[in-house]
Each structure stands twice: as C-alpha cells, then as structure tokens.
Amino acid sequence: MRVIALIIRAGAVVAASAFAFSLLVDSGPKPATAARPDLSSVTAPAPKPKPTVARQPATPGVPQGVVAIVATGDIVMGSTPNLPPDGGRSFFSDVQTDLAGDVVLGNLEGTLSTGGGSKCGKGSTNCFAFQTPPSYARWLRDAGFTTLNLANNHAYDFGAGGLRQTTNALAGAGLQWTGRPGQITVQKVGAIRVALVGFAPYPWAQSLTDIAAAKRLVRKAAREADVVVVSMHAGAEGAERQHVTRRNELFLGENRGNPVRLAHAAVDSGADLVVGHGPHVLRGMEWYKGRLIAYSLGNFAGYKVFALGGPLSTSGILRVTLRGDGRFETGRLVPTHLVGAGLPAIDPAEAAHGVVRTLSREDFGTRGVKISRDGILSR
C-alpha cells in the first residue's frame, strides 16, 4: 500500500501492454439551440481507434493486479486563430510528469477539425464554438493521454463533419475516445480490462438524463471489463456553482442533469470510479459504496477560451490506483491551475486541496473524501 502511494506521488507509470477497441453507435444532431441536421450522412459507425502502442514499465517492482488511472477536467488547446505560440508543442510540459498512468482520461472540449460550419450564428456574442487543428492530437498523446471523453456540449461545435474529423485525428494519433451513444471503450492493462463510458445531456452523447439507459450501459460495460470508469459532463457552470445540489441543475435553461443521481446509479450498476467535469470549477468528492466519485475536476486547460481567475483557474489531476476487481487502492489529487492565457501548470499554493477538502465535507458529510495536506485521498 505504502509502495503504491509513493509510486503515485512520484508520477510513475503502472505499465502494461495496452490495446483498445470501441463499440460505437454514431449519431449527432446539433445542440437544442440550433436546428436539427439531417442525420443520414452520419449513421455509419465512426472509425475505430488504432491499437495503443505497447508501453514498458517506467519503474520496476510495481505490484501486479492494479491499474493506475489518471483523470483531468476540461481541455481546450486553443481555438483557431487563437493558438499557442509554439503550435502546442509545450502545452502540457509543466504537468506531463503527473499525467503518467495506464489509463489517462481527459475531457476534450471542442473539436480537432478545420473548416465546416460553426453552430454559432454569424455575429453571435453569447455562443462559443471551439476548433483546434487536428494535428494537436499528437500533443495529447505525447502528454500521456490514452482516452478522451467526447460526451460534452462542444464535441458537436462544427457538426457531424467536425466530430468525424475529431475521431479521425484521435485515431491517427493512436488515441481512444468515449462518450458516443452506446459506446463502451475498453483498454487492456496487463490482465485487467478497463471500460470507459461517457455521459452528457446531448443527442450526440450517451444521455445522462436517461438514468435507465445509463444503468443498462454501465451494466454492459461491467460484463465486458474488470474495472469500469464513468466520465460525466454534468452540472451547471460558473464560479458560483462549486456545490453539488442533488437536484437537476440548469444552465441557460438547459437541463445539465442531476450529477448525484447519475453517479450513484452508475456505481449501483457496476462503475468503480466516476469522474465529473462541466461546471468549470472544482467540486467535492464522495465515497459511495466504497467507490470514489469526483463531481468536477474543473478547467484543466483552456488557451484563450475560458474565463479565468479564482475558482475558474483552480483545478487538479486525479490519480488513483484500483485493484483488478475495481476496489480503491490509493489516490491523490495533484493541485494545478491555469496560468497566462490558460496553460495548465502545477499550483505551488496547492489551492485545490483546501477547496476540495472543504466542499467534500460540506456537501457530503461523513461520506466526503478526506484530503491530506499533500493531497492523499482517504475515507
């Protein structure tokens, strides 16, 4: 136990040969605020990801039978024409060590695409559509990510074509994705099969408001894998939205779901870890039936696209190890923040620890996750 915790704190990789496949059902209308497009051109299955390149252990002596899972919140590597000055090459350089893991999951807000029509009408001032060059997929891969969640409100910013370009770019970089309707993405870590399922309240994603369907999909994932990780884009947005309400949360009149209801239903159906994002701020963490639920990991990276400052710039990298049967072994929250125009960086002030510690206690009482001064998670 102590050995594993030390390995996590050092950012080491619990390694194994990895391969992945996705079960996809492709569809994709635009957001409710836009006209519904003709789906006839997007009913064919999206291309499957290429197998993940096998990786060798970075540190010898890591116990067998555990999997190191790393997760972050929202990621936008800039939106054309506002892109990082070095083309994204050093975008993740300050946090890359802490992204090392077997399964590294991030929420990709926006598209990896060029051209096409934006969901935002000409001259719109309250609509945001993100388009990052497809070549930036390699920076995600080089940073350590293995899977990107596409169940969010920006995956369809440039329609079916933009989403198709995104999955093609990820596949070309050897990356997986999850979050499409009916999709279960599986990554094999040694003898352990890890399933990843994403949820969001949009037609192009697996619905988080249809709880019965969500439970069926998680149960299916649990039959296909040893460990199940759920990614949910749930909850209202904004600096004042740090508390979990246990009710349906609305944002600009849109139903963003009931995060607690979905997370509990997922665990009841076989999920071993639930990771949230969407509110753009950190939220508390809860123990439920021995499983960890992180309700929001905040803005991880957003170059010239996110409002910044205070809670909007405070984030974290969640690092956990789970046993082959899904039981929690160790965990740590690595404190990060957005600097400059929105680059991810390790936070020397470690603000995330205090924020999540307080929110967990206030929102979940005795079920709230305890966080030590150096970020270790405990009951």
CA dist 178 and 230 (Å) reads 10
pLDDT the model gives residue 63? 64
14-42 burial: b if 16+ Cβ within 10 Å, else e = bbbebebebbbebbbbbbeeeeeeeeeeb
Residues of the chain with pLDDT under 70: 1-63, 123
Q: Which domains does the chain have, with CATH numbers?
A: 2-74+86-119+128-301+331-378 (3.60.21)
What pLDDT, on a 0 to 100 scale, did the predictor assign at position 251?
87
Q: What is the pTM of this model?
A: 0.84
| β-pair type (285-288, 314-323) | unpaired
Write out the DSSP string of 241-253.
Answer: --S--SS--EETT
pLDDT at site 50: 38
- Cβ–Cβ contacts within 10 Å for residue 367, how many? 16
pLDDT 10s digits, 77-129: 999 999 998 999 999 999 999 999 999 999 999 999 999 999 997 767 778 99
